[in-house]
Structure 1
Amino acid sequence: MSCVQSWPEPIVRVQSLSESGIRTIPDRYIKHLSDRPLFTGNSPAVNKVNIPTIDLNSLFSGDGAVRRETCELISGACREWGFFQVINHGVDLKLMGGMQEAWREFFHLPLEEKQRYANSPTTYEGYGSRLGVVKEAKLDWSDYFFLHFLPEPLRDPSKWPRLPVSCRELVAKYGEEVVKLCEKLTRILSVSLGLKEDALHQAFGGDENRGACLRVNFYPKCPQPDLTLGISPHSDPGGMTLLLPDADVAGLQVRHAGQWVTVKPVPNAFIVNMGDQMQVLTNGMYKSVEHRVIVNSGKERVSLALFYNPGGETVVKPLEELVTEERPAIYPAMTFNQYRSFIRTRGPCGKSQVESLKSPR
């Protein structure tokens, strides 16, 4: 995946910076003026809109009209926002809460314990504090833990935290349940596009080759949240992301109609967003959307992002059924590994990668 074996500079843990009591953040974390979030005092600017919330309970209804209406709502959200929240999704609520608490406990373990899992740019798996290997790049105010779940040959529970003792079992159960939800959503999305129900599932590589990985994000308190970001603007390189946010502290912002909209999390909901590979597969009908994360001066945040992706060697291109004379293929074919090497080298860079692939019209 990457020939880079180590980070270009010594790694500094953002949590350690936060807990040191500093009042001003290092220059490496100060974003350019145009990239800084809009704050009023210590609070982010308030918006009057939110991403759509969709109740999946209706999909299990015997009423075909109700199911079609839900599919239409999801289709509309994918076209207009690229984001939506789902409730009544079927994932065990105690499991969701247990995962959040276990990972919060992990990030509050002694640094020596966390350092056992320090990651490198070769796979990114483990405990990390930066994306991208560009030297002297502006850094984000966050630490994270990244692990592989699918395909099974990539899964190695020995690389998952041994503490807290419940963590490995929780990760296995959580991954299994959220992947099942992802499967349901890809089938719904296929139908909403007028495709066979398993079209997107097969395009991801089917049961054997599809990928899934988990990134647990930890955003420590920040003394100057108006100067930095938890994650810089980007669109997710994969297929679809299911985010379990910290419901107590807003942080995710989505670019919509030229403005940054702060997402208000619905309790016990997942935030779903389309990734770049979904934009490619749907020939631009469903769009990945630029988003970023703001930080907080008074509260830390923990969020869990499960990325549901095509297999690394799966060739991704616009689905034939969505290519016509009036709408020719916009994107070339390439493997997902080829595509995601961009973000693993440069880090978050808006939507520059997927946009650069577009064929000239």
Structure 2
Amino acid sequence: MESSLELEAVNFGKSIIIPSVQEMAKESMTKIPPRYERPDQDPPIISTDASLLLSSIPVIDLERLAIEDSMDSELDILHSACREWGFFQVVNHRVSSTLLEEFKMQVENFFKLPYEDKKKLWQKPDNHEGFGQLFVVSEEQKLDWSDMFYVTTLPLYLRMNDLFDKLPPNLRETLETYCSEVKKLASEILGHMAKGLKMDAEEMKELFSDGVQSIRMNYYPPCPEPDKAIGFSPHSDADALTILFQLSDTEGLEIRKEGRWFPVKPLPNAFVVNVGDITEVLFFRFAQCSTTVYKLLDWIVHE
């Protein structure tokens, strides 16, 4: 499982309603339905590949960015991470571990809700928010082996209160705090990125201060044919930043760089940050940022 918070700039619109993969996985099946078979995916990465083991996405220490003696060197690392990878992990971010543990527990409990309760939160034919999958536009389209719950959280006037108010009270309360804290984190990261590009940090923060914030919670059930399925199709994010909090230390996230897929080993209580397409376009006049495609493999992501 994972959750990611995105500063969105687009409306995903409608998505065809599909069955719950989590419910499907509870059945005694030995084969997955044809729509979930993905023969086109790249073969699994061999973890003993020395070049892959030596390569890892950069880690940014926000405490070092606050100390004058280490600020410049850490900004150089951040600048390089945006330019070369488009991804980095953030540590010492000051989002409390207590909050993260509570949020993790609430998300896990959320996906354990009875199916009848989840049906009240399922996507509607005219909107993408709720349980389901995004970007399903035809009955023949290949599907991911995962369930997701998607909801817009900020600004308040864009929030679907009918959906948000149906969330379990403990999750709703924790989600409010989590989104507020991660919004501050996003603003801080954008400010540091601006400094690395010799831009005005406050102007950058102000530019995204009223941006749309949404959260997507993903669940990857066990799969009877994991070598044929994929948890999350390869893609890039059409947003400003995606901030990912992985709820377990199971590896599965991969990013594509220079034609090769690199696994991401999540650090405890760290956030994985993806520089989205909007930020790349904005920064292009100052320095090129990497548009990074990433995916989640079902053969390695499980309960």
Structures share a fold, TM > 0.5? Answer: yes
Equivalent residues of 1:85, 1:272 under 8 A apart: yes
Gaps of 5+ in 1: 301-361
In the TM superposition, residue 164 of structure 1 has moved relative to its aligned partner by 4.0
Larger RCO: Structure 1 or Structure 2 (Cα < 8 Å, ≥ 6 residues apart)? 2
**Partner Cα separation in structure 2 for residue 180 and residue 225 of structure 1:** 38
**Partner Cα separation in structure 2 for residue 254 and residue 107 of structure 1:** 26
What residue is the counterpart of 1:355 in the other structure? none
In the TM superposition, residue 130 of structure 1 has moved relative to its aligned partner by 4.2
What residue is the counterpart of 1:127 in the other structure? 131
Are residues 1:299 and 2:302 paired? yes
Are residues 1:58 and 2:64 paired? yes
- Shift of the 256–119 alpha-carbon distance from structure 1 to 2, 3 Å rule, reads same
What residue is the counterpart of 1:229 in the other structure? 230
In the TM superposition, residue 294 of structure 1 has moved relative to its aligned partner by 0.7
Aligned residue runs from structure 1 range 185-204, under 5 A: 185-204=189-208
Consecutive aligned runs of 4 or more in structure 1 exceeding 2 Å deviation: 1-6, 44-47, 120-123, 129-132, 155-158, 160-165, 198-204, 296-299
Please give the secondary structure, in 2, of the residue aligned with 1:250. coil
- Shift of the 298–32 alpha-carbon distance from structure 1 to 2, 3 Å rule, reads closer
- Shift of the 167–3 alpha-carbon distance from structure 1 to 2, 3 Å rule, reads closer
Equivalent residues of 1:160, 1:168 under 8 A apart: yes
Equivalent residues of 2:12, 2:135 under 8 A apart: no
CA RMSD in angstroms comes to 2.3
**Partner Cα separation in structure 2 for residue 72 and residue 297 of structure 1:** 33
Equivalent residues of 1:59, 1:70 under 8 A apart: yes
In the TM superposition, residue 297 of structure 1 has moved relative to its aligned partner by 6.8
What residue is the counterpart of 1:338 in the other structure? none
Equivalent residues of 1:37, 1:228 under 8 A apart: no
Amino acid at match of 2:65: L
Please give the secondary structure, in 1, of the residue aligned with 2:239. coil
What residue is the counterpart of 2:110 in the other structure? 106
In the TM superposition, residue 129 of structure 1 has moved relative to its aligned partner by 3.0
In the TM superposition, residue 71 of structure 1 has moved relative to its aligned partner by 1.1
What residue is the counterpart of 2:96 in the other structure? 92
What residue is the counterpart of 2:283 in the other structure? 282
Percentage of matched positions with identical amino acids: 34
**Partner Cα separation in structure 2 for residue 4 and residue 56 of structure 1:** 36
Aligned residue runs from structure 1 range 290-329, under 5 A: 290-296=293-299, 299-300=302-303
**Partner Cα separation in structure 2 for residue 265 and residue 126 of structure 1:** 27
In the TM superposition, residue 142 of structure 1 has moved relative to its aligned partner by 0.8
- Shift of the 298–119 alpha-carbon distance from structure 1 to 2, 3 Å rule, reads closer
State the aligned residue count. 289
Aligned residue runs from structure 1 range 201-220, under 5 A: 201-204=205-208, 207=209, 209-220=210-221
Equivalent residues of 2:249, 2:268 under 8 A apart: no
Gaps of 5+ in 2: 1-9
- Shift of the 243–215 alpha-carbon distance from structure 1 to 2, 3 Å rule, reads same
From 33, 39, 47, the counterpart of 1:32: 39
- Shift of the 79–122 alpha-carbon distance from structure 1 to 2, 3 Å rule, reads farther
Deviations 1:295-333 (A, max 9, x none): 247832xxxxxxxxxxxxxxxxxxxxxxxxxxxxxxxxx
**Partner Cα separation in structure 2 for residue 97 and residue 162 of structure 1:** 22
**Partner Cα separation in structure 1 for residue 118 and residue 132 of structure 2:** 10
In the TM superposition, residue 155 of structure 1 has moved relative to its aligned partner by 2.3
Deviations 1:71-90 (A, max 9, x none): 11100111111101011001
Deviations 1:320-354 (A, max 9, x none): xxxxxxxxxxxxxxxxxxxxxxxxxxxxxxxxxxx
- Shift of the 60–131 alpha-carbon distance from structure 1 to 2, 3 Å rule, reads same
Moved more, 194-203 or 266-275: 194-203
In the TM superposition, residue 126 of structure 1 has moved relative to its aligned partner by 1.1
- Shift of the 158–280 alpha-carbon distance from structure 1 to 2, 3 Å rule, reads same
**Partner Cα separation in structure 2 for residue 196 and residue 3 of structure 1:** 31
**Partner Cα separation in structure 2 for residue 218 and residue 247 of structure 1:** 11
Equivalent residues of 2:220, 2:301 under 8 A apart: no
From 182, 185, 189, the counterpart of 1:181: 185
**Partner Cα separation in structure 1 for residue 150 and residue 301 of structure 2:** 26
Equivalent residues of 1:148, 1:156 under 8 A apart: yes
What residue is the counterpart of 1:315 in the other structure? none
